[in-house]
Amino acid sequence: EHIQAEIQKDTGQASRDLGWSASLFNQFLCGRRPVNSEHIIKISNYFDISPDAIDPNFNPPKRSSIKVF
């Protein structure tokens, strides 16, 4: 229970930091809702990981409002 509470706290904070509802972020994490390239970029920047770690077939869009770090 303690670990589950910590995970929920962390995902709740991440969703707020990313500007999404906790429900939406949870749907992404559980695979119930597809992520687009901008979602992948936001998540990868937030967690300081490569977009390829989220989607091995990731191709950055030619135009995006979010820069990949």
Between 10 and 9, residue with greater pLDDT: 10
- Percent above pLDDT 90 for the chain: 33
CB 64 within 8 A of CB 37: yes
Between 68 and 35, residue with greater pLDDT: 35
Using alpha carbons, list the distances in angstroms from residue 24 to 4, 10, 11, 62, 63.
18, 14, 11, 25, 24
List, for residues 41-69, the tens digit of each pLDDT value.
998 888 888 999 889 999 887 766 666 66
pLDDT of residue 59: 85
Intra-chain end-to-end CA distance of the chain, in Å: 35
Q: Which structure tokens are listed for 42?
A: 């936001």
CB 39 within 8 A of CB 28: yes
Closest CA to 45 of 69, 11, 21: 69
